[in-house]
Chain A
Amino acid sequence: MIDMALYFAMGCFGVGLLFNLYRIAVGPQAADRILALDTMVINVIALIVLYGIQGGTATYYEASMLVAMVGFVSTVAYCRFLLRGDIIE
């Protein structure tokens, strides 16, 4: 049963990734692209967690936490670049 749920979830996040990709490619605003990229990071984190559940190991969970911790920093940097130009003032 859990396998079915995992496959379904993976499928959903996979489709999510494709939509993110579409938004990054098309835009139209820079903010759209950044937001899509950020969502993409979150989708990848979700996929890593799901993959860990499937394999029954905790290592992937940790990896996902770390990706989460540093993944958003580039989003912040992109946003600051748009808003202020210089990311470290």
Chain B
Amino acid sequence: MGDGSNLLVIIALLPFIGALVPGWMIRAGRNACATFTAVPTVLALVMLGILAPDVMRGEVIQARFEWLPQLGLSASFFLDGLGLLFAGMILGVGLLIILYARFYLSGDDPMGQFYTYLLLFQGAMLGIVLSDNILLLLVFWELTSLSSFLLIGYWKHLPEGRQGARMALAVTGSGGLAMIGGMLILGNIVGSYDLTDILASGDLIKSSEWYLPALILILLGAFTKSAQFPFHFWLPHAMAAPTPVSAYLHSATMVKAGVFLMARMWPALAGTEAWFYIVATVGLITMVLGAVIALFKDDLKALLAFSTVSHLGLLTMLLGFGTTAAAVAAVFHIINHLTFKAALFMTAGIVDHEAHTRDIKRLGGLAKLMPITATIGTIAALSMAGIPLFNGFLSKEMMLEEASHTYWFENPWIVPALATLGALFSVAYSLRFIFHTFGGPVRDDYPHKPHDPPFGMYAAPALLVVLVVAIGVMPFLADNLVAVAASAVAGEALHPHLKIWHGVTPALFMSFAAIGGGIVLLLIHRPLDRVWIAAPRPEAKAIFDKLLALLVGATRWITEVTHNRSITRYLAIFTVASVALGYAAWTGGGMSAPSREMLPVPPLVGLGFVLLIVGAASVVLFHRNRFRALVVLSIIGLMVSAGFVYLSAPDLALTQISVETVTIMLLLLALHFIPKETPRETRVGKKIADGVVALVAGTGVGALAYAFMRRDVDTISGFHLDNSYAGGGGNNVVNVILVDFRGYDTYGEIIVLGIAGLIIYALMQALLGGPAGRKLRNTDFTRDLSRDRHPLMMVVATRVMMPIAVMVGIYIFLRGHNYPGGGFVAGLVIAIALLMQYMASGFAWTQSRQRIQYHAMIGFGVVIAGLTGAGSWLAGKPFLTSAFGYFEFPPIEEFELATAALFDLGVFLTVLGAVMLMLFSLSRIARYAGQSVNLEPMDYDPADRVKPLEGGKE
């Protein structure tokens, strides 16, 4: 990669880096903030200027970095003529907008935020036009949707701003979704996601049977972004944004992204019938519709918005024609539209800023009050109307020329007629903009007395209208740029010559007709306007809102049906669906005949089964009495643990019994504060239905287990058994799986466990602070209770057990890698040892002797495990690769040290911290309910025995 590629990458990155600055610089004042926003834009523009001569010579500058090569995603950029044109527009207009916004935004608006959003948007937009990878392009595409959402909703206090932003995001975002599908299909057809490859394989794409779906999906993305019919409605609503945003996003750049995409994809997609009929037709409809609506809008910005819709339609139509001459016209019109429309938006902003209204019906006569603004606005609007000697005339003439010999379903006149009609309305609304705003007598009822703004505010539009006139009078100035950009669109070298006079052509007559008709329309505007207002017409926002409400209603209905906050419903759906899937798999064939013999049932195992079944049945019978159900549940836990031991899984048995104990304690803590009986809520019919579901599901799971156990199935157990020692350095396969083979899972799980612990704590904090806390304080727990709160025997026994239990915990932890045990069980064992102290001597007494915060313990655990995993990066291995070795410390025999043990330490700490924090949180409720706190370890002091009782006999 040469210097050019380096510059290209820097250009693409500059706005994003620059976006960090305005937020800080606003503290140094508004001028400093605007200056520092302009710096990255100016730098990028200068670099683009350095690259420009090469591109103008026809070179393509490329830069490429692999990002996710497995997905075909690379961070690759390229700069050709089209990219140069758009990048220049984005940066150039961006600079003018930064200047304009400095004066436009009032002191109350957070300017740093605005500039940050603006640069983010600029970066995203640059990314679109410079991307050489369509997946990367999609990323930037979505980024423009998001940053424009922020910009449109910049005035957060205005409901129109928020609603407009939401609508723009909904429409362009869903179009973007469709486009993702289209791009993936396209990449699939070509076998590469690189734009240069795709552009080179146009024939392959057009002959593919997936061409049409890809085309439609990509066009959906382009049409929504460029506000083409029937998605045009979001653009006028986005006008709630500050005017600099409207000028930048909604005339010059973002809405052109769709046009850009169609131009970019032109060699790959254009030239087919489908392309012509979809793109050209939609463009034509949009052009005429936009122009007609624009004439009847009273809001200056709404008028300009619909005019933009109309002009975007014009561009789309030109690209849809699929001829190279039309492509030249489109490229030229992109430049012209940019110059006059951005100037017009800024003029509208100035008028709004000075007169405090943009309602045409309240304006008029401004030419005398603000002559500079009026001049700028008039020149730009005349160009928009397509009056000769302004640049809008040139490209409109070329458009009409192209339209005049386009056949639509063999019909020679429909396209030219409609194009002329569009041009006619365009003249009408442009003239209305001029005469109804600036012309006429000076009024005395403006909301605010208007006068020309400071130089900084009109500098930007003034510069743009200079361009309008320059190109309009000397079109050859734009020759080279148009040539190189149009060549990039067409994929072949074009050398157009732009000139004012084409001779007496059909286009000239069409132009005259448009101008004449436009003047007539303006003259009869008043009666027409009355008819328009009286006529019924669909209100896009109402329809959109209704559609959105329908969609929300439908999704809410689905949610309510599947998950109506009742866990029974949720579980029933889940269970029935799983059983149905299982049944489908069963009947689908592919089940081999059983290959294993039935084993005899030893009497003790049979007994275990009886206990399990009776236990399960008793829970069903006793479930109303919650305490009794809990006792019966313990049988099941115990039997499952015994089963694990019997099936040679002592690790699991240990874990099971520890989890069982901790769970019982948690449930008992909670049970203290909730009713001891379950209320009767369920109807008999529902009970029967639920019972059937439960029985079917249980039978299904049983059948599945039976089916598997009767057959020889290849499992991954063999691999783990073979590789446990060689790969993880441990003989205990279960532990090696946990800390090494599946270490990533374990890491995720301990994080989840830690989060659960913290959430319980946080929930309890919120709960106790709310109404539930006040209710708790009024609970009356007067029951016939034992008065021995902290029995001597229990206190002594737990104290004696404490060191033994901790020792056992450490022992289990240390040997875990080779024998049953490990961090998880060790954490639970020590948690139980600590919990016993809490039970015996009370919460406050124990807590005051507890030095380490449980929150911190969770944090340390996760961090230690994470650092251990990351440590393997230092050795150049993937995350969580374990290393182990044998060491000898003199008094101790040879000893194995494995990094897995360190990871296990993290697991241990997290488990311990999370369990303790959960119990801590639950037992805090009692203190909240007004329970007193003891300072002594036990209620009964053995020392009292030898003292004489007070006032008693010896």
Binding site for B on A (CB under 8 A): 10-11, 14, 17-18, 21, 24-25, 30, 33-34, 37, 40-41, 44, 47-48, 51, 59-60, 62-63, 66-67, 69-71, 73-74, 76-78, 80-81, 83-89
Contact = CB atoms under 8 A, between A and B. Distances in A.
Contacts of B462: none
B631 A25 contact: no
Contact of B843 (A60, A74, A88): A88
A21 B616 CA distance: 12
Among the interface residues A11, A14, A25, A86, which one has the most CB atoms of the partner chain B within 10 A? A86
A58 B149 CA distance: 68
A62 to B, nearest CB: 7
A4 to B, nearest CB: 15
Most B-side CB within 10 Å, residue of A41, A47, A59, A70: A70
A10 B842 contact: no
Nearest to B922: A88
Contacts, number: 141
Interface in B582-639: 603-604, 607, 610-611, 614-615, 618, 627-628, 630-632, 634-635, 638-639
A87 B641 CA distance: 24
A75 to B, nearest CB: 9
Contacts of B926: 86, 88-89
B645 interface: yes
Contact of B829 (A66, A71, A88): A66
A87 B839 contact: yes
Q: Which of B618, B632, B638, B919 has the most chain A CB within a 10 Å cutoff?
A: B638
B646 interface: yes
Contact of B611 (A21, A33, A51, A60): A21
B938 to A, nearest CB: 12
A47 B608 CA distance: 11
Nearest to B788: A83
A69 B634 contact: no
B210 interface: no
B635 A24 contact: yes
Nearest to A52: B645
A33 B664 CA distance: 15
5 contacts: A21-B614, A69-B805, A81-B627, A84-B789, A85-B781
Interface string B767-791: 0000000000000010101101110
A77 B789 CA distance: 13
A41 B660 CA distance: 12
B803 to A, nearest CB: 13
B842 A63 contact: no
B238 interface: no
Contact of A85 (B635, B658, B785): B785
A78 to B, nearest CB: 7
A47 B641 CA distance: 12
Contacts of B618: 24-25
Contacts of B820: 59, 62-63
A89 B634 contact: no
Given A63-B650, A69-B801, A88-B669, 11 more contacts: A21-B614, A30-B628, A34-B631, A44-B639, A48-B642, A48-B645, A70-B657, A70-B829, A73-B665, A73-B832, A85-B781
Given A66-B808, A87-B665, A73 B931 contact: no
Nearest to A59: B650
Contacts of B541: none
B789 A89 contact: yes
A42 B357 CA distance: 87
Interface string B836-852: 10110011000000000
B661 interface: yes
Given A47-B642, A59-B820, A10 B604 contact: yes
A20 to B, nearest CB: 9
Contacts of A17: 607, 611
A21 B615 CA distance: 8
Contacts of A40: 635, 638
A72 to B, nearest CB: 9
Contacts of A47: 604, 642
Contacts of A11: 603
A51 B635 contact: no
Interface string B637-668: 01101100110001001100110110011001
Contacts of B627: 30, 81
B201 interface: no
Contact of A87 (B607, B635, B668, B829): B668
Given A74-B660, A76-B839, A78-B631, A85 B604 contact: no
Interface string B676-710: 00000000000000000000000000000000000
Nearest to B607: A14
A62 B650 contact: yes
Contacts of A89: 789-790, 842-843, 926, 931, 934
B923 interface: yes
Given A78-B631, A80-B839, A88-B842, A41 B808 contact: no
